[in-house]
Amino acid sequence: MPTIALKAKDYKSVIKPIWCPGCGHFAVLAAITRALAYLELPKEQVALISGIGCSSRLPAYVDSYGFHGLHGRALPLATGLKVARPDLNVLVTGGDGDGFSIGGNHFLHACRRNIDLTYIAMDNRVYGMTKGQASPTTAPDWAESKMTPHGTGVRRFQPAAIALAAGATFIARGFSGDPKGLTRMLVEAITHPGFSFLHVLSPCITFRPDQRSWKSEVHAFAAEPCNEPIEAARQIHADDGLGLGIIYAEHLPVWPSLYQATGSLAEIETECLI
């Protein structure tokens, strides 16, 4: 029987998002479903994994396999799943708090392992779900939180630069206000063999209404995608953090193909006991 092509709306689950009206995460969800439809991926070949946060609710809204895990632990969960089920397209979704604060250590090691995962980090430079505390990507002088009334005074975490230094083989930056560009980047990220990191600027309209200005401040990344880490690092540091595009893409050996358990779980356990 011929398969019927799915449309983006077919990938939406029956659960309606409870995000605040205007939250950037809506557009990220829409771009993910459009990318899945474009790639014609059967729902049973897709798994979305997340930690905790407003952004981490996303897997519930997609009609595929999904796992809403613990705060900061999406990447190790996804790593385990991909190693056990290399046939699945494993997408990881979360926020800057989830991924770069409590999950920061996992971020570094996921980048360097080059497992074939697509990590979509929705950065609103705030902890949205817990009502607006500063996150690792918050500017040092942002003084709107009662927890940090004079700002944090701490330099910002630079997701793209850190991903590059840690060994990610695909790095791009998108914006929820640019749904077409974001969908194109997602298609590239999902099809990239190895760990792809998609840093998405996704405004928190409730606790960071100032981020409405991103619409007029984002711009194309100044350089073409490159596969040379020193040049990519130079370009990332020259950018103001609002440059959109594929920054770095390199094809290097993907971890599961180098060293992959071939036996069943029972066989592996037996081997370990010998």
Ligand X SMILES: Cc1ncc(C[n+]2csc(CCOP(=O)(O)OP(=O)(O)O)c2C)c(N)n1
3-state secondary structure of 98: helix
Token pair listed for 73: 């632990």
205 binds, among ligand SF4, ligand X, none (CB under 5 to 8 A by kind): ligand SF4
Least separation in angstroms between residue 119's CB and ligand SF4 is 18
Closest approach, Cβ 133 to ligand X, in A, equals 7
Cα–Cα distance, 186 to 180 (Å, whole number): 10
**Residue 141 has what DSSP assignment?**
T
Question: What string marks each residue from 113 to 152 as x (binds ligand SF4 by CB under 6 A) or -?
Answer: -----------x---xx-----------------------
Q: Which is nearer to ligand SF4, 45 or 130 (CB)?
A: 130
Binding segment for ligand X among 128-136, 191-199, 235-243, 248-256 (CB under 6 A)? 128-136
CA dist 266 and 133 (Å) reads 46
Which residues make Cβ contacts (< 8 Å) with residue 137, sequence separation at least 6? 96, 100, 123, 125, 156, 157, 159
Q: Which residue sits closest to ligand X, CB atoms considered?
A: 95
On whether the CB atoms of residues 21 and 97 are closer than 8 A, the answer is no
Task: Report phi then psi at 118, rounded to 5.
Answer: -115, 115
In angstroms, what is the minimal distance from the CB of 144 to ligand SF4?
13
- In DSSP terms, which residues pair with 174 in a beta bridge? 200
96, 116, 178, 239: residue in contact with ligand X (rule CB under 6 A):
96
204 vs 246, which CB is nearer to ligand X?
A: 204
171: contact with ligand SF4 by CB under 6 A: no
